């Protein structure tokens, strides 16, 4: 089964990614790790909610598959109705990390096609 892992981090400094797809940070995780799986067949949409602090910087960290296996080829990650990451981001680098803005109450939507 293909899968996607997502973390959202409060960033106090920087996220470090290594070749083994693990990560370390000096901040704290406010959402995740969350595994979203794509069974064979029709596209699937997942929706989750989470809370955040309004005065912090955030990073969304997404990994498709593991060690180059079971990667989701067509994905969209939106937060509060704004797409923050898509398949082209993961083709550039897997895992992928992006700075994001959050509200006190947030909705993340993950579409796996």
pLDDT tens digits, the chain, 113 residues: what are they?
566 676 655 432 233 333 333 444 445 788 888 888 888 889 889 999 988 877 778 888 888 887 666 777 788 999 999 999 998 998 898 888 888 888 999 999 999 88
Sign of torsion, CA 86 78 48 99?
Answer: positive
CA distances from 64 to 50, 93, 112 (A): 21, 10, 11
The pLDDT score that the predictor gives to residue 28 is 78
Burial classification of residue 87, based on how many CB atoms lie within 10 Å of its CB (0-12 exposed, 13-18 middle, 19 or more buried): middle
The pLDDT score that the predictor gives to residue 68 is 66
Stated pTM of the model: 0.78
Which tokens in the block code for residue 104? 């006190």
The pLDDT score that the predictor gives to residue 1 is 59
């Amino acid at each position: 089964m293909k899968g996607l892992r997502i973390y959202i981090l409060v960033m106090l400094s920087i996220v470090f990614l290594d070749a083994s797809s693990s990560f370390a940070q000096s901040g704290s995780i406010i959402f995740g790790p969350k595994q979203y799986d794509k069974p064979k067949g029709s596209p699937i949409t997942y929706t989750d909610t989470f809370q955040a602090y309004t005065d912090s910087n955030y990073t969304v960290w997404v990994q498709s598959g593991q060690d180059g296996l079971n990667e989701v080829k067509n994905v969209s990650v939106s937060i509060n109705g704004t797409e923050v990451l898509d398949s082209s981001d993961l083709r550039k680098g897997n895992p992928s990390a992006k700075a994001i803005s959050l509200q006190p109450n947030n909705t993340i939507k993950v579409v796996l096609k």
